[in-house]
Amino acid sequence: MSIEELNYQIYACRKCRLWQGAKHGVPGEGPLNAKVMLVGQNPGADEDELGRPFIGRAGKFLTKTLAEHGIKREDLFITNIVKHISPQNRKPYSDEVVACLPYLTTQISTIKPKIIVLLGASAKETPRLEGIEYMEIIHPSAAMRFNNMRDKFRLQIAELAKRMNRLS
């Protein structure tokens, strides 16, 4: 299946309840030959409005922190484990994660990234495929809010930059 077909399925998805409160499904974005994939939880209000991942406050903080470490957002494939917004931004329920996972699995097997960065607890449910390096790091919205987490998050992004340099 092509990414366009997959995106179309995500826009039209009704496999769980979340589509009912959403304006847009948010498949994710980035080059199809990206070496690094970022996986967050699910879209927030800004992402739902525009249909793009990580473009709200947490996304801006993420993009800025990546840039401070020499990583261009446009080089990464950025997505979420769940592709629709949830009511009051609650954590997706496990049946919602399970319903949505095949989309992420297809994205991983199509893009074949070398490194997958899991942002926060929800993203840890991402399928682990042979030959891919996984990094579990703090979610940028937590890093934005708490000083100690911000410092740790910066170190984790620095480590990602180091691993990316090793790839090329």
Q: Residue count at the site for ligand URA (CB under 6 A)?
A: 12
Shortest CA distance to 139 belongs to which of 44, 31, 6? Answer: 44
Q: Judge residue 148's burial from the number of C-beta atoms within 10 Å of its C-beta, 0-12 exposed, 13-18 middle, 19 or more buried.
A: exposed
**Least distance between ligand URA and beta carbon 86 (Å):** 10
Among 25, 30, 59, 113, binds ligand URA (CB under 6 A): 59
Is residue 92 part of the contact set for ligand URA (CB under 6 A)? Answer: no
Q: Is 40 in the site for ligand URA (CB under 6 A)?
A: yes
Q: Which two tokens stand for residue 148?
A: 């100690």
User: Cα(45)–Cα(153) distance, rounded to whole angstroms?
Assistant: 23
Residue keyed to tokens 């949830």: 86
Query: Binding to ligand URA by residue 41, rule CB under 6 A?
Result: yes
Stretch that binds ligand URA, among 50-58, 105-113, 143-151, 160-168 (CB under 6 A): 50-58
Residue 52 DSSP one-character state: -
By CB under 6 A, what part of segment 116-155 binds ligand URA?
A: none
Q: Tell me the residue number closest to ligand URA, measured at CB.
A: 40
Q: How many helices (H) and strands (E) does the chain have?
A: 6, 4
- Per CB under 6 A, residues contacting ligand URA are 40-44, 47, 53-54, 56, 58-59, 80
